Amino acid sequence: MLLSHPSCALHNPGPGHPESPMRLAAVLSAFDTAPLAGIARVEAPPASIEQLRRVHDDALIDRVFAAAPRDGIARLDADTAMCPQSLDAALHAAGAVIAAVDAVLQERTDRAFCAVRPPGHHATRIDAMGFCLFNSIAVGAAHALAQGLDRVAIIDFDVHHGNGTQDIFSRDARVLYASSHQWPLYPNTGAEAEVGLGNIHNATLLPGARSLEFREAWAQRLLPAIEAFKPQLILISAGFDAHRLDPLAQLNLGPEDFAWLTHALVLIAERHGGGRVVSALEGGYSLTALHECTTAHCQALFGMR
């Protein structure tokens, strides 16, 4: 199942901003040809205020709503900006993950990909930052917990650490957060000593790291931790900016690396969670890499390898 919404293509942080509407076009183009062209498409609903409140303070929600401009661009910080359509896009991005979680829990599908923007994993409980307004993957995880799940794993292979997701769940043992990311790099969080209640697992990669280092970090450290957690649901923050072509970072991965990890996660989900996996787009700022990596990731996600 593919979930998206037209508003996500209208979010525009301004000329020259790397988080451009063209990113979504590159992602969706992966679904224009076989075999992904056969994936069912669903228009995402918006998240409600009550659903956002599960992970965000009222002050953040109120700030984002109040900042939405009637025209032009409004800046929340140096990197994070809104146009008139941005609020609607952020609500539908979070709503897509919620709808995808409902779909897998209700057994209408095993796996889903949310082609949405703006990204979300830098949004903390109290701050919108790093191109992110609301933390869509965290909203989806909280929704799954509200439906009665006890063990939800969030997997983040974006090149930037998901500081917001870690902030929201670092004291909630029902959620495991596992991340590989370049170090040092924005937002300068995600040290391996940051472990929360034992539910936080960070693997840092030095600039220039390639497939070998990436796969070793997951195979030797992160995947065993996820396996031991026995997640009832796996959520993926699917950022593709660790690709060698990405202009905002210095890792050297290829589409085959994301496919390898995705396949491993699907196998864990099949062993412990009925095969339930929901993935949502985060970063990735090379249009070529976005298309190639979305194709590889989603073919592995939907069992088309």
Verify whether residue 160 is a known catalytic residue.
no
Q: Of 11, 122, 161, 297, which is the active-site residue?
A: 122
Q: What is the Cα–Cα distance from 224 to 5, expressed in whole angstroms? A: 35
Q: Nearest 5°: phi and psi at 36? A: -70, -15
- Active-site positions read 122
